[in-house]
Chain A
Amino acid sequence: MSGWLDGDVTSVGLSAGSSCLHFHQATVEPTTQTALWWGAVKLGRLGFRMFLLTGMGIAVTIVVLLIVAQATYADPTSSATGPWAALGQRDIRSAISLSLMTATVSSLIALVIAIPTAYVLARSRRRWMKVIDALLDVPLVLSPVVIGISLLLLFRSTPGRWFESHLVRVIFEVPGIIVAQTVLALAMEIRVLKAAFEDVDPRLEQTARTLGCTPWGAFWRVTLPMARPGLIAALVLGWSRALGDFGATVTIAGAMPNKTETMPLAVYSRLESIQIGKALGLSMLLFMIAFAVLIAVRVAAERRQA
């Protein structure tokens, strides 16, 4: 195989005075070279496409298999194992409403705390802020059970006992679920919101200030609206984390039916008492609620953006 240079040198030697032959010779070799080069490029593109599609295919397959596994085991229309049958039971209805209520309240409380925290983290250039940033990530990597134990010990300490006796009872009560889920959702929401605030150019806030906005006004009129997609994403992820929590909730609030039993706890307790059908119906219901909420939020966000 000859390269560009080989072809050129050969043609100069042979063609001596024939510019036409020279041109012809000089273009034959590069054409082969170009074809090979294009072949390599196409192969590279195909490889990259395969890499992307394989990854995505595996991710989608995992989720679909989870659903199919349940659907094939349980007849969705069955009175024993279907999600609609699960809705007919009082303790299940209680678990559903408790889960939806606590996940919504705790993700909203977490959002109110996460907004200023994430904004400070996104804007501050101080070195020690990196330590705080890492500290706030701790709940993300800890097991929810460990967080539940920490909360349990906190409310068993002297200040915790005072809090419980004078303000709100937390341990083995619904506020305990909200506290645990808020802690879990908070770390998630801070992470998402920090990225959203970092995407808002500080010069836009400065421009708003020079046009008459106070710092609060610039935040309210410019920063928050521009971070809206991030706000929605943070709320959805925080809500999902809260809705699906098992470890922290069961540790601090127990799993008392009709009192502190959320949906994940209800599923587990049905499995534990070998009520497979009820557990399946409930888990399918949990899946449908979560999926419906995620879709609804995305559609609402896109409609608003349009």
Chain B
Amino acid sequence: MIRVENVTVQAGDYALKNVNLHVPEGTSRIVLGPSGTGKTLLLEAMLGLRAVAAGRIFIGGREVTNLPPEARGIAYMPQDGALFPHLSVRENICFGRRVHGTLAGVATELPELCQALHISDAMLARHSIRSLSGGERQRVALARSLLVKPNVLFLDESFSALDANVRQQLLLQLRQIQQARRQTLVYVTHNQYDAELLGDDVTVVLGGAIAQTAPVRDLCVTPGSAAIAQFLQLPNMVALQRASVDEPFRCDALSWTLPTDALAVTVTIRREACHVLAAGQAEALGLTNTVAATVTSVFTAQRRDYARVTLSDGTVLECDVALWQLHADGLPEVGAMVLVHVPSNAVSLIGATRYTQGANE
């Protein structure tokens, strides 16, 4: 468990002010944010590598604010793994246990850990880390961090330099180990796909403050602010207005009733939940809330096909083409007129989240 209470960290002219964070025992927390927003400052404060100007930090129920890193019961894996080049692979993995003087159980624990992380005996027997590939280095660094059985494992962009396949493989293995061991974990990254693979919850850091904390599965559905939605590069952000609270919100011929009394809102429309329809499909499937649109481009993202369409009022939407493909082969042609169906459950109000916003959790 980690609790950060009203912590302020200063680095030159830049400051992270009054940060509050709570990571429950055995969960995986992703600290997500673009470069230069202070997430590494927060990490260094939790690690004990940077003094805090104000506030308190608790790890495992014990206050560690003024304790050095070695007394916090943690482990840290930096971006490139930071393996010690003068040590062999085995010496690297056992480094923490040797320092703590607890090498006794290593003979039984090491094979299990190596098996979980796919570290072969041949790799373990290497005298130098210089011949290891990027992925192998990260596995070894991960094994080194996990073998000390830390209260909390901190990772800083640890897999960002790897190619997508290896990164995904390692993140899934780490997730499996984290869940099996109920290991409390904090992973700092700018990559939201890493967050989706590894995290239970996500804390978004923007502009030197915590902008939102939410379960991973809900973050993209209910972003706390337009700034978060922009950072997450959520498609289909649309500003809506209405004359009175009794009316639904309208966008061209589409209309939705949303749970708010506001007259002007910004929403995100999940592109996988709105659909391009072929002629006659709306009637055949009984779909209402449709609008005519022109296809301006088609593309594939994360193995799904989408069409970018423009409504007659100029609104641009990205929509799934799976339903259209049931009716016709291939993809809609660019310039074709199609119908677009956007159900209410595809529309999320930005800022209307039950999760934390601002600096306090």
Chain A interface residues (CB < 8 Å from chain B): 201, 203-204, 206-215, 217, 221-222, 225-226, 228
Residue of A with least CB distance to B87: A225
With A206-B49, A206-B69, A206-B76 already in contact, the answer to whether A211 and B96 are too (CB < 8 A) is yes
**A226–B154 Cα gap in the complex (Å)?**
25
Q: Give the Cβ gap from A249 to chain B, nearest Cβ, in Å.
A: 37
With A211-B144, A212-B96, A212-B100 already in contact, the answer to whether A226 and B76 are too (CB < 8 A) is no
Report whether B49 and A209 are in contact in the complex, using a CB–CB cutoff of 8 Å: yes
**A225–B88 Cα gap in the complex (Å)?**
13
With A212-B96, A217-B99 already in contact, the answer to whether A226 and B75 are too (CB < 8 A) is no
- Say yes or no: is B70 at the interface (Cβ < 8 Å to chain A): yes
Cβ contact of B86, chosen from A201, A212, A217, A225, cutoff 8 A: A225
Q: Which residues of A contact B145 (CB under 8 A)?
A: 211
Q: Which residues of A contact B72 (CB under 8 A)?
A: 210
Report whether A211 and B86 are in contact in the complex, using a CB–CB cutoff of 8 Å: no
Q: Which residues of B contact A208 (CB under 8 A)?
A: 84, 95, 99
20 additional contacts (CB under 8 A) given A210-B76, A211-B76, A212-B100 = A206-B69, A207-B76, A208-B95, A209-B48, A209-B69, A210-B49, A210-B70, A210-B72, A210-B74, A210-B154, A211-B70, A211-B75, A211-B144, A211-B148, A212-B148, A213-B70, A215-B68, A217-B99, A221-B95, A226-B84
**A228–B86 Cα gap in the complex (Å)?**
10
16 inter-chain pairs at a CB distance below 8 angstroms, sorted by A residue, are A201-B82, A203-B82, A204-B84, A206-B78, A207-B82, A208-B99, A209-B49, A209-B68, A209-B69, A210-B49, A210-B70, A214-B68, A215-B68, A221-B95, A225-B86, A226-B84
Q: Which of B66-107 contact A (CB under 8 A)?
A: 68-70, 72, 74-78, 82, 84-86, 95-96, 99-100
Interface residues on B, range: 20 to 34
- Say yes or no: is B228 at the interface (Cβ < 8 Å to chain A): no
Q: Which residues of A contact B74 (CB under 8 A)?
A: 210
Cβ-Cβ contact count across A and B, 8 Å cutoff = 63
- Say yes or no: is B206 at the interface (Cβ < 8 Å to chain A): no
Q: Which residues of B contact A209 (CB under 8 A)?
A: 48-49, 68-70
Report whether A212 and B84 are in contact in the complex, using a CB–CB cutoff of 8 Å: no
Residue of A with least CB distance to B47: A210
Report whether B95 and A211 are in contact in the complex, using a CB–CB cutoff of 8 Å: yes
Q: Give the Cβ gap from A227 to chain B, nearest Cβ, in Å.
A: 10
Report whether A226 and B70 are in contact in the complex, using a CB–CB cutoff of 8 Å: no
**A214–B99 Cα gap in the complex (Å)?**
9
**A210–B144 Cα gap in the complex (Å)?**
11
With A212-B100, A212-B148 already in contact, the answer to whether A207 and B78 are too (CB < 8 A) is yes
Q: Which residues of A contact B86 (CB under 8 A)?
A: 222, 225-226, 228
Q: Which residues of B contact A206 (CB under 8 A)?
A: 47, 49, 69, 76, 78, 82
**A217–B95 Cα gap in the complex (Å)?**
12
**A210–B68 Cα gap in the complex (Å)?**
9
Proximity string of chain B (204-233) to chain A, C-beta cutoff 8 Å, 1 when within and 0 when not: 000000000000000000000000000000
Q: Give the Cβ gap from B44 to chain A, nearest Cβ, in Å.
A: 9
Residue of A with least CB distance to B153: A210
Q: Which residues of B contact A215 (CB under 8 A)?
A: 68
Report whether A210 and B75 are in contact in the complex, using a CB–CB cutoff of 8 Å: yes
**A113–B84 Cα gap in the complex (Å)?**
26
With A206-B76, A207-B76, A212-B148 already in contact, the answer to whether A221 and B82 are too (CB < 8 A) is no
With A206-B76, A210-B75, A210-B76 already in contact, the answer to whether A226 and B85 are too (CB < 8 A) is yes
**A209–B154 Cα gap in the complex (Å)?**
13
**A213–B145 Cα gap in the complex (Å)?**
13
Residue of A with least CB distance to B68: A209
Residue of A with least CB distance to B141: A207
With A209-B69, A212-B70, A212-B148 already in contact, the answer to whether A221 and B99 are too (CB < 8 A) is yes
Q: Which residues of A contact B100 (CB under 8 A)?
A: 212
Q: Give the Cβ gap from B210 to chain A, nearest Cβ, in Å.
A: 23
Residue of A with least CB distance to B147: A211
Report whether A204 and B68 are in contact in the complex, using a CB–CB cutoff of 8 Å: no
Max chain B C-beta neighbours (<10 A), residue from A203, A207, A210, A221: A210
Max chain A C-beta neighbours (<10 A), residue from B86, B96, B154: B86
Q: Which residues of A contact B99 (CB under 8 A)?
A: 208, 211-213, 217, 221
Report whether B84 and A210 are in contact in the complex, using a CB–CB cutoff of 8 Å: no
Q: Which residues of A contact B68 (CB under 8 A)?
A: 209, 214-215
Residue of A with least CB distance to B81: A207
Rank and list the top 10 A-B pairs by shortest CB-CB distance, nearest first.
Answer: A210-B76, A211-B96, A212-B99, A209-B69, A207-B82, A225-B86, A210-B69, A212-B100, A212-B70, A203-B82
Q: Give the Cβ gap from B344 to chain A, nearest Cβ, in Å.
A: 48
Residue of A with least CB distance to B148: A211
**A224–B256 Cα gap in the complex (Å)?**
67
Q: Which of B33-63 contact A (CB under 8 A)?
A: 47-49
Proximity string of chain B (130-154) to chain A, C-beta cutoff 8 Å, 1 when within and 0 when not: 0000000000000011001000001
**A206–B79 Cα gap in the complex (Å)?**
13
Residue of B with least CB distance to A215: B68
Q: Give the Cβ gap from A286 to chain B, nearest Cβ, in Å.
A: 35
**A217–B101 Cα gap in the complex (Å)?**
13
**A212–B97 Cα gap in the complex (Å)?**
9
**A201–B82 Cα gap in the complex (Å)?**
9
